[in-house]
Structure 1
Amino acid sequence: MTGDEGPSYTVDDALVALGFGKFQILVLVYAGVGWVSEAMEMMLLSFVGPAVQALWNLSPHEESFITSAVFAGMLIGAYSWGVVSDRHGRRKGFLITATVTSIAGFLSAFAPNYILLIALRSVVGIGLGGGPVLSSWFLEFVPAPNRGTWMVIFSAFWTLGTIFEASLAWIVMPNLGWRWLLALSSLPTSFLLLFYKLTPESPRYLCLKGKTADAIEVLEKIARVNGRELPSGNLVSDHEIELQQIDNPSEDARLLSPRTNEIKHPLGMDSNLGGISSLSVLLSPKLARSTVLLWAVFFGNAFSYYGLVLLTTELNGHSKCVSHKLQTEKSQDVSYKSVFIASFAEIPGLLLSAVAVDKLGRKLSMSTMFFICCIFLLPLVFHLSEGLTTGLLFLARICITATFTIVYIYAPEMYPTSVRTTGVGIASSVGRIGGMICPLVAVGLVHGCHQTAAVLLFEIIVLLSGICVMFLPIETMGQELRDSVQV
C-alpha cells in the first residue's frame, strides 16, 4: 500500500509475503509442547483421583474436588496471564506460567496429604491458565490464508498430550503409582524454560505497542529463516492506517477500506491497559454480544469435554451403580483401557475440524458438531454395555474435540491484538468454571446412581452451546486479524 510518505505495509502484509516456513515451524513446536504439557496435566486427573481416593479413603466429593481445585486455579490464571501478556508481552506471559506449572506440578508428586495435594494442584491450575497465551502467540505469527489449517495442527498437540498421558498412566500407574505419574507429567513444561531465550516476541504485539524497530527486527529474522524478503516501505500498524484514513478520507479509501465505515475512536490501544480497562473493552458495545456468547460456548465446551473424559472411567466403573471397593479395584485396568481408546477419538475430531473450519466456516462447524454430539450422548441415559458405552463416548468426544479445536481458533481471531490474550483468557476462565462443576456431575451423580440425570444435564448444556454459536455475530474465516476496536 502507499501513502503520503511512500509505500508502507502491515504485519499481516509481511506475514503473507514471508509465508509459513521454517521459522513458524519452530514457533509451532515450542508452543505445541506447552499445549502437550497442559493436556497431560489435565488428563492425569482421570487417573490420580481414583488412586488417591483408595489410598486416603476419600469421599466421592473429596475426589471430585481434586479436579475442581485445578480448574479453580485455571480460572484465576487464565484471566491473570491474559492481562500480563497484553500489557508486558506474550513471552513474559508464558515464561511465568511455565515456571509456576513445572515447579508446582513436580512438588505435587511429594504431597504428604490431601490438603497439600489440593493446594499444589490449585497452583498447577494457576500456571495452566496460561495456555491461551501460547495459542495467541503462535496465531500472531501465522499468515491469514493459512490460519485455520495451522491452528488445527497446533491443536493436534493437545491430542498428542492426551494420548501420551493415557499411555504413560497405563504403564506407570500399575507399576510405580500416582506420584511417579505426577512427577513425569511435569517434565514437558521444563522444555519451555530450557529454550525460552530463543523465543521471539510477537511482531504484531510489538507493532501495537509502538516498538516498530523491534517488530521489524523479528520480521527480518523470519525473512532470513524462511528465505523470503520483506515488502518494501515502512511498517505501520492497522491503527495508524485507520487514523490516516480518518484524517484523510479519500474517495478511494471510502470505497476500498472495509474499516472506514467503523466509528472513529479506537479502544484498547493504551499500552498500560489494566484488567478492568481490558474488561470494559471486551464488554463495549462493539464486542459485548460476541464476548457474552463466547463465554457461554467456552463454558459448555469445557463442561462437556472434561465431563466426557471423566465419564469414560466413571460410567464403565460404575455402570451397574456398584460402589463396592473390590469392584472398583477390578475395574481399574478397564478404566485405563477405556480412557486410552477414547483418547484416540481426538484424532478424527481434529481431522474433522481441519476439513470443516476453512470450508464451512467457524460458526457452522461448531454448531453442527455440538448438535451431533447431543445425538451420540442421548442413548447413555440408559445403562448400556461397556463396549457400547465406550463407543458412544468415543463418537461424542470426536464432536467435542472438533468444537474445542475450532473455538480456540475462533476466539483469538475475533478479538483485536490489544485485548486478544485477555479476551481469550477470560473466556477460557469462564470455561474453567464449567470444568470445576463437571467433576461434581460426572463423578458425584454417577456415584450416586443418577446416571440419567448426569447425561441429561450434559445434553442440555451441549445443546445450548450449539444454539449460542449460531447467534455469534462475526464469522472470522479468511479475515485479517485486527489490532484495535473501533467503537
Structure 2
Amino acid sequence: MPEGQLQPLPGGNSSTKFKGTEEHPQGVRGLPHKLASSASNVWLAMTQILGPRLRMTTLTLVFTWMVAAFVYYGLVTLLTHVDFVKGASKQCIDGKLVLPHADLVGILITSSAEVPGLLFSLVMVAYLGRKLAFAVPMAALAVVLIPLLAGATGPVVGGVQVGVVVCMYLARFFIYSSFNILWAMSPEYYPTSIRNFGLGVSNAFSRIGGLLSPFASVNARQDAAWHHAPEAIFAALSLVAGAIVLVLPPDKKGKALDDCVEEVEQVPEMQCKVSSVIHAPRMCMCMCMMVVHAQRCLTGSQLWCS
C-alpha cells in the first residue's frame, strides 16, 4: 500500500481519504465497456462481410481457402502413402509407420518444391494478376495428377519410380504457389475497416480444410475401392476452386484499396449468377456432412497404419 494512503491513519483521522483510492488504474474502469465494444465490433464486421456487397466475395474466398488448405495438407500427408519405390511395402512396427530409405529421399525431393513454388507465385502475380495467378496453378495441379490416376509410374531408376516423384513434385510446386497467392489476394477485396477481420475469417476456414484433409489422403486411400481416390478428390477440388475464383471482382493491382464498405463496387453479374450455387446454407450443409463423415471414418479406423 502506498505510504500516502496510510499517512492519515496515525493521526486518528480515518475519514480522510487519499485521492488515489478514489481513482482506478488507467484502463480498469473502461474494461467492461471495451469488451462490449469489441463484441459489437465483431458482430458489425461479420454483418459487413456477409452484407449484399461482400457476401459472395466472402463465400468464394472461404471456399478457395478451404480447398487450398485441404489439397495442400492432403498432398503432404499423401507423401507417406505413395509408393516411390516399385515393389516396396511400407511396414507398421509397434504402431509406427516405417518407410524405406528411398521413400524418405522421395519425400525430401518433393518437399523441396515449395521454394521454387514461392518464387513462381511472385512471377505469376506480377504478370497475370491475382485471380489468374491462383487459377492457373490450380488447373495445372489437376493436370499433373492425371498420370497418378492412370497408374503411370514412368521409368524406374535405382528402384525409384521417377514418374511418381515428378508428379508429386509438381503437385507440391503448384499448390504451394496458389496457397501463397491467397495471402496477397484476399485482403485486397475487403475495405480497410474490416480487412484483417475478413482475412482472419478466411484463414480460420482454411484450418477446417486442413483438419479434414487426412480423411481424404489416408482413409479414402485405405477404405475406398479405388486406390487413387485421394488424387481424384484433390484434382476435382482444384479445378473447381480455380474456376470459381474467376467470379471474384476485378483485381486491385495498381488500384487504390477501398477504405469502407460503401466504397466497395456492386456485386458483379457473374457472382449473382453463381449465388444459387455457393450460398451460405449449402456451404454449411456441406461442411456438416464433411465433419460427420470425418467422425465416422475416425471411429474404428487408424489414420497411419492399417
Q: TM-score range by the shorter chain?
A: 0.5 to 0.7
Inter-partner Cα distance in structure 1 for 2:118 and 2:59: 26
Indicate the residue corresponding to 1:360 in structure 2.
Answer: 128
- Residue by residue, what CA displacement relative to the aligned partner does 1:287-335 show, whole Å, maximum 9, x if unpaired? 1111111111111111111111111221137987956536x85525344
Check whether the contact 2:118–2:180 (CA below 8 A) recurs between aligned residues: yes
Corresponding residue to 1:275 among 37, 42, 45: 42
Alpha-carbon distance, 1:479 to partner: 2.2
Residue 423 of structure 1 aligns with an amino acid whose one-letter code is: G
Report what 2:223 is aligned to: 448
Residue 416 of structure 1, aligned match among 191, 203, 215? 191
Indicate conservation of the 8 Å contact 1:317/1:331, yes or no: no
Among candidates 387, 390, 411, match of residue 162 of structure 2: 387
Which residue of structure 2 aligns with residue 164 of structure 1? none
3-state SS of paired residue (2:258): coil
Conserved? CA contact 1:321–1:446, under 8 Å: no
* Contact kept? 1:415, 1:423, Cα under 8 Å: yes
Distance (Å, rounded) in 1 between the aligned partners of 2:53 and 2:176:
29
Task: Go from structure 1 to structure 2 and tell me whether the alpha carbon gap of 1:321 and 1:429 turns closer, same or farther (over 3 Å shift).
Answer: farther
Aligned equivalent of 2:287: none
Matched, 1:433 2:208: yes
Residues 7-406 of structure 1 aligned to structure 2 (within 5 Å): 273-316=40-83, 324-325=91-92, 331-385=99-153, 386-406=161-181
Of the structure 1 ranges 424-433 and 377-386, higher mean CA displacement relative to structure 2 is found in 377-386
SS at match of 2:81: helix
CA distance in 1, matches of 2:102, 2:45: 47
CA distance in 2, matches of 1:391, 1:377: 10
Instruction: Give 2:238's aligned amino acid.
Output: V
Contact 1:312 1:390 in 2 (8 A): no
Retained in 1: the 8 A contact 2:130–2:181? yes
Cα drift, residue 275 of structure 1: 2.8
Does the 8 A contact of 1:366 with 1:466 survive in 2? yes
Describe the shift of the 1:429–1:320 C-alpha distance in structure 2 as closer, same or farther (beyond 3 A): farther
Distance 1:317 1:441, change over 3 A: farther
Q: Could you tell me the TM-score, scaled by structure 1's length?
A: 0.42
- TM-score between both structures, scaled by the size of structure 2: 0.64
CA contact (8 A) 2:72 2:176 kept: yes
Separation of aligned partners in 2, 1:463 and 1:281: 29
Q: Which position in structure 2 is the counterpart of 1:473?
A: 249
- Whole-Å separation in 2 of the counterparts to 1:375 and 1:428: 26
C-alpha distance in structure 2 between counterparts of 1:329 and 1:430, whole Å? 30
Distance 2:207 2:104 in 1: 25
Pairwise CA distance, 1:273: 4.6
Query: What is the CA-CA distance between 1:366 and the residue it aligns to?
Result: 1.0
CA distance 1:320–1:287, shift in 2 (3 Å): farther
Aligned-partner residue type, residue 228 of structure 2: T
Q: Summarize the Cα distance change of 1:343–1:324 in structure 2 as closer, same or farther, 3 Å threshold.
A: closer
Distance change >3 Å, CA 278–CA 314, structure 1 → 2: same
Letter in 1 for 2:52: P
CA contact (8 A) 1:371 1:466 kept: yes
| Separation in structure 2 between the aligned mates of residue 438 and residue 461 of structure 1, nearest angstrom | 12
DSSP-derived class of the 1:315 partner? coil
Assess, with a 3 A threshold, how the Cα gap between structure 1 residues 368 and 324 changes in structure 2: closer, same or farther: same
Larger radius of gyration: 2
Q: Secondary structure at the match of 1:314?
A: coil
The Cα shift of 1:355 comes to: 1.1
Assess, with a 3 A threshold, how the Cα gap between structure 1 residues 320 and 290 changes in structure 2: closer, same or farther. Answer: farther
CA distance in 2, matches of 1:443, 1:323: 14
Q: Which residue of 2 aligns with 1:30?
A: none
Aligned identity (percent) is 30
Choose 460-469 or 470-479, whichever is displaced more: 470-479
Q: State whether residues 321 and 447 of structure 1, in contact with CA within 8 Å, keep that contact through their aligned partners in structure 2.
A: no
The aligned counterpart of 1:458 is 234
**Secondary structure of the equivalent of 2:252?**
coil
Amino acid at match of 1:434: G
Task: Tell me by how many angstroms 1:406 deviates.
Answer: 0.7
Unpaired runs of at least 5, structure 2: 1-33, 154-160, 264-306
Cα drift, residue 470 of structure 1: 1.0
